[in-house]
Chain A
Amino acid sequence: MDRFSWTNGLLEINETLVIQQRGVRLYDGDDKAKMDVGVALLSTHRLIWRDNKNHECCIAMPLSQILFFEEQAGGIGKSAKIVIHLHPTPPNKEPGPYQQSKYSYIKLSFKEHGQIEFYRRLTEEMTKKRWENMPVSQPIPTGTGLQAGRTRAVGIVGIERKIEEKRKETDKNISEAFEDLSKLMVKAKEMVELSKSIANKIKDKQGDITEDETIRFKSYLLSMGIADPVTRETHGSGTHYHMQLAKQLGDMLQAPLEERGGMMALTEVYCLVNRARGMELLSPEDLVNACKMFESLKLPLRLRVFDSGVMVVQLQSHSEEEMIASALDNVSDKGSLTAEEFAKLLGLSVLLSKERLLLAEKMGHLCRDDSVEGLRFYPNLF
């Protein structure tokens, strides 16, 4: 920490702010420095640090002081850090917060994250070494760094100006993005028109379209996100992609289904599968379209839609009669059951246990008592 000098935070002509990060604590070697948490600023020429509360406490070190640096991963209760190893102090160094230090390295501790970007920018600047090409005037000796209010304000204004410029650039980027987006949409619209024309022709059976061509067309529609009302009637919504998915799901869902009594709500499947994938997630429609193909692909799973509209995936081996018989047993055993009680008994979700009871009722094995206290099922003695 004895490599730092007091500074007024003023950026020199030719010196540009590269990145700043709040929530940074300094370490003198392995020991916490005597300062509080502050803002770390990286310029083309220097590493600057400024206290959050007391803006006059501002220190800097030329980047040429840096020998090398490395990342130190965070852990539980520990923030990620960048360790910066330093050259020995030059003889003409301006006074700073530390007269001397037993360490030749400092650490920046990123309490509010941002270390990844800071590290990247630091690497860039240390590679480019822009300070060598853009000499700045000798820094004015600032003594203890306590400056007249005016110069302090200019220093901060300089930094704020950089932020403003960056914001303007961001705005410019956004309007450029919108322009590019509009051009892209024009092209996309052409594709939509073309696909409508093709779909109509297929519908009217003009020309000679093969199976292959139809499947290819459907995959084009899938890629573009264009709805496909026409060919769906003749060929279903599946594409090769959905067939692959269906097979993957067939493998993936065996164990979870068995654990849950052979049946899972589609929303549960959606969460399970997407959490497992982590990225390249499935859309809800992808899942539904894949599940619809279980039967035609002869996989041991089925997509089922209850009267209420609830969609489930169930194991084909899952016997309906068994399910209903066991539901009847449970209800008779306890005299009567609500969906919540049944769910607790079987370790199922309330949604699915309700569907089972409703199914048993539909088959005439149970009858209901529908009151404001809830829906309760009794064995059907009629």
Chain B
Amino acid sequence: MRRGVGAGAIAKKKLAEARYKERGTVLAEDQIVQMSKQLETFKSNLEEFASKHKQEIRKNSQFRVQFQEMCATIGVDPLASGKGFWSEMLGVGDFYYELGVQIIEVCLALKHRNGGLITLDELHQRVLKGRGKYAQDVSQDDLVRAIKKLKAMGSGFGMIPVGGSYLVQSVPAELNMDHTVVLQLAEKKGYVTVSEIKDGLKWEKERACHVLDHLLKEGLAWLDSQAAGEPQYWLPALFSELSSRDVTPEEANQMTP
């Protein structure tokens, strides 16, 4: 909308201004000017804060949590843009965005094995390992925040509450409430059977099979049809270090009968 020029426009503007002053409201464009000034002041306050406390944010994950929560309370997202003040001056941006890259890489590397589902614990361990011994510490809260930001890129990143922690999903597989609740059931042992679902959730057999079939198709579950009793549906995402380890193709050849 182009602001009009010429005597007529000026007169019109004067009239509008007068009307607003009458009602005691401030014009938006005046407020924008005011905001610009306040922004400059804020920027220098933030610079001062950064010069004194930037290290705190980098080194102390507790402090980061507090910082994030305070921002959320007042309606500010310090991670929205790399160009934001928070990111530029406190360096919070680079920390979380780099973490995002590391998370994506870990999930991609393991996708062929777990179908795109991984526990937050395992993700945490592997990210820490990838960062090396002398890198800055990263907490699970840091991971969660980085993952929340990754959602903006439509890659299917999400978090599923399971057994007191979370499963991190990194593929756009459709997982509804039924799937989620079966994952939660499988969490204790790493696998689940149709009977367990029927008993534990009081479902019909068809419903249980439908859900398990979907998990198989998506590559999130593996079928052990040779298990004693009835077939077991294992979830590689839930394999703990204790009950599994990575094996080279040579070792695998030696092991199979």
Contact = CB atoms under 8 A, between A and B. Distances in A.
Given A180-B49, A283-B149, A308-B172, 5 more contacts: A177-B52, A189-B75, A190-B38, A225-B78, A310-B172
A311 B98 contact: no
A281 B97 contact: yes
A222 B73 CA distance: 18
A176 B16 CA distance: 48
Given A191-B38, A226-B76, A267-B104, A173 B83 contact: no
A113 B60 CA distance: 20
B31 A227 contact: no
A341 B173 CA distance: 19
A181 B35 contact: no
Contact of A225 (B13, B63, B81): B81
Contacts, number: 208
A185 interface: yes
Closest A-B pairs by Cβ, 6 of them? A311-B154, A201-B28, A281-B97, A177-B53, A189-B74, A284-B152
A174 interface: yes
A92 interface: no
A129 interface: no
A225 B149 CA distance: 13
A274 B104 CA distance: 12
B93 A210 contact: no
Interface stretch (B64-72, B159-167, B177-185, B248-256): B64-72
Nearest to B57: A177
Interface stretch (B84-92, B123-131, B197-205): B84-92
Nearest to B67: A181
B74 A192 contact: yes
A286 B217 contact: no
Contact of B98 (A210, A227, A281, A305): A281
B257 to A, nearest CB: 23
Contacts of A265: 155
Given A209-B28, A225-B80, A227-B77, A284 B94 contact: no
A91 interface: no
Nearest to A187: B42
Given A210-B1, A227-B77, A282 B31 contact: no
Interface stretch (A81-89, A147-155, A213-221): A213-221
Nearest to A303: B154
Contact of A174 (B43, B60, B85, B134): B60
A230 B227 CA distance: 58
Interface string A184-210: 110111111011011001100011111
Nearest to A265: B155
18 contacts: A177-B63, A184-B49, A187-B42, A191-B38, A195-B35, A198-B35, A202-B28, A208-B16, A217-B35, A225-B78, A225-B85, A226-B76, A283-B79, A283-B81, A283-B97, A310-B156, A371-B217, A372-B217
B42 A188 contact: yes
Interface of B: 1-3, 13, 16, 20, 25, 27-29, 31-32, 34-36, 38-39, 41-43, 45-46, 49, 52-53, 56, 60, 63, 66-67, 70-71, 73-88, 93-94, 97-98, 100-101, 104-105, 111, 134, 149-156, 171-172, 213, 216-217, 219, 223
A185 B56 CA distance: 17
Interface residues of A, number: 69
Given A220-B35, A308-B172, A285 B63 contact: no
Interface of A: 113, 173-174, 176-178, 180-182, 184-185, 187-192, 194-195, 197-198, 201-202, 206-211, 213, 216-217, 220, 222-227, 241, 265-267, 270-271, 274-275, 279-288, 305, 308-311, 350-351, 370-372, 374-375
A37 B107 CA distance: 39
B149 A372 contact: no
Most B-side CB within 10 Å, residue of A267, A274, A305, A311: A267
A225 B28 contact: no
B153 A266 contact: yes
Contacts of B46: 184
A351 B97 CA distance: 22
A283 B80 CA distance: 7
Contact of B29 (A173, A184, A209, A211): A209
Nearest to B97: A281
B150 A208 contact: no
A125 B34 CA distance: 49
A78 to B, nearest CB: 16
Contacts of B35: 191, 194-195, 198, 217, 220
A298 to B, nearest CB: 23
B101 A280 contact: no
Given A194-B31, A202-B28, A210 B2 contact: yes
Given A207-B29, A209-B29, A222 B83 contact: yes
Given A198-B35, A225-B71, A266 B80 contact: no
Contacts of A189: 74-75
Given A178-B66, A209-B29, A308-B172, A216 B36 contact: yes
Contacts of B16: 207-208
Contacts of B71: 185, 188, 225
A185 B156 contact: no
Given A174-B60, A184-B46, A197-B31, A222 B66 contact: no
